[in-house]
Amino acid sequence: MTDSELISGLSSGNPEAGRLLVERFQQQVINVCIGLLHNRFDAEDVAQDVFIEAMRNAHRFRGESKISTWLYRIAVNRSLNYLRNNKRQKLMVEIGSVFGLFEGETIRDSREPATNFNQLEAEELKRILKTAIDSLPENQKVAFTLNKFEELSYNEIAEVMETSLSAVESLIHRAKRNLQKKLKHYFNP
């Protein structure tokens, strides 16, 4: 099934088209969400919403870009919205915890206990890199993640982010510079 057939199938409410869309793009969408959220459960939750939005709004897809680009765009927007809401929610949980609300509820942390020193060090380095990426400005973070983890070309990133090629180049360059600065103290022995 070609992209246009898939879209017309989705627009007409064909369930097979929906199943095919999910099968074909599931990994890409979930991985973008994981790249931005760093939490598998949250990423799957957001990815489900991405497909729901795509299926509901398939009739609006004009076919000017690839379906994958369109899905990446929805995934990025949804993930960023989720992060913004989550920030607010974390703040409210913290306010609530001051008054003794949400007893037993802690901010989720995907870290698992490490079993030996090497694993501990690897986990620690991963956490440091994750924190450094998370602390980048939103646009730099999106551009860097799409380029490094999804291995999208600068052109594709420009399409997903609806910006120019030179802007993407600049964003990725600045992201790498910022990461270098942030990681300097941690990665230098």
Partner 1 sequence: MKCTEVQELIIDLTPLSGERPSNAALEQHLQECVSCRRVAERYSSALYELAGERQLTNDPFFYDRIIKKMNDGQSVAVRKLWSSKEYYQLGRALAGFAAAVLLGIWLGSRVIAPLVTTPAVKENYSAEKQESYEQEIDYGSEALARLEYYFFDDANQEKK
Which of 101, 165 has the CB closer to partner 1? 101
Q: What minimum distance in Å lies between the beta carbon of 2 and partner 1?
A: 20
From residue 144, give the alpha-carbon distance in Å to each of 35, 78, 162: 10, 17, 15
Applying CB under 8 A, among 85, 135, 153, 164 the residue interacting with partner 1 is: 85
Q: Does 57 bind partner 1 (CB under 8 A)?
A: no
Q: Does 177 bind partner 1 (CB under 8 A)?
A: yes
Closest CA to 36 of 186, 174, 166, 147: 147
For residue 168, what is the enclosing H or E element?
Answer: helix 165-187
Is residue 45 helix, strand or coil? helix
Q: Does 23 bind partner 1 (CB under 8 A)?
A: yes
Applying CB under 8 A, among 113, 151, 162, 185 the residue interacting with partner 1 is: 151
CB-hemisphere CA count at 13 Å for 117?
Answer: 0
Separation of alpha carbons 180 and 124, rounded Å:
17
CA–chain centroid gap for 81, Å, is 10
Q: Where does this chain bind partner 1 (CB under 8 A)?
A: 18-19, 22-23, 26-27, 30-31, 34-35, 38, 40, 44-49, 51-52, 55, 78, 81-82, 85, 88-89, 92, 95-96, 99-102, 110, 121-123, 125-126, 128-130, 148-149, 151, 176-177, 179-180, 183-184, 186-189
